[in-house]
Amino acid sequence: MVFGRSERRRRSAPAEPVTLKILVAGGFGVGKTTLVGSVSEIRPLRTEERLTEAGRPVDDLDGVEGKSTTTVAMDFGRITVHEELVLYLFGTPGQDRFWFLWDELARGALGAVVLADTRRLADSFAAIDYFERRGLPFTVAVNCFDGAARYPAETVRDALNLDPGVPVMLCDARERESARDVLIAVVEHAMRHGAERREPALP
């Protein structure tokens, strides 16, 4: 029996989606756990511990005074962008004392987003340096906290001394659509970056 195109397609096994690993990084309290939680279609895995009096001298809470917990290992979530593309999200811990986890978390990642808060922009430098040194494609997303001054993306780019090719966007980590746009931008940027690296150099 000869099947028509659509019938043949219906009978073939559904293609497995491509799965990609994306890191959600940035300084302390910038909204990494919030972003993974707002966008994840599964209940996100969190490793939150309470901020304590003992940590007060080292935990800089300026701008996030309401914060009562911090990530001590990672966040994990998942988003199906479309039926052929699933992203696994790994949120990094924000405090310097957990740097030793980053190499493990970064292994196998396609790309990363560095979340930034304009009130504490310098906190983003360490994550940016980390990805630049490793050649891992990244984008910067400014998480627009209530009460924080708004700056155009180009002003943020200059302040962070980013390469012209690094996408910078504004977002609200609490909003699912906004968080999703950030992740799609990372995938697109990483794909472009990969394609450019595969292009043979012109003579």
Ligand X SMILES: Nc1nc2c(ncn2[C@@H]2O[C@H](COP(=O)(O)OP(=O)(O)OP(=O)(O)O)[C@@H](O)[C@H]2O)c(=O)[nH]1
Residues forming contacts to Mg ion in the complex (CB under 5 A) are 32-33, 71
Nearer to ligand X, 77 or 93 (CB): 93
Is residue 64 close enough to count as binding ligand X by CB under 6 A?
A: yes
Place of tokens 């984008």: 139
Relative to beta strand 48-50, strand 69-71 is antiparallel
- State the Cα–Cα distance between residues 11 and 90, nearest whole angstrom: 36
The SS3 of residue 84 is coil
**Both tokens assigned to 163:** 């390469």
Look up residue 112 and give its DSSP letter.
E
65-104: contacts with ligand X (CB under 6 A): 66-67, 70-71, 93-94
Residue 124 binds ligand X, judged by CB under 6 A: no
Give the span between the Cα atoms of 124 and 32, in whole angstroms: 12
Please identify, using beta-carbon distances, which residue of 143 and 162 lies nearer to Mg ion.
143
In the bound complex, what is the minimum distance in angstroms from residue 178's beta carbon to ligand X? Answer: 8
Stretch that binds ligand X, among 7-15, 24-32, 153-161, 186-194 (CB under 6 A): 24-32
172 near ligand X (CB under 6 A)? yes
Cα–Cα dist 51/68, whole Å: 5
Q: Which residues bind ligand X (CB under 6 A)?
A: 28-34, 64, 66-67, 70-71, 93-94, 143, 145-146, 172-174
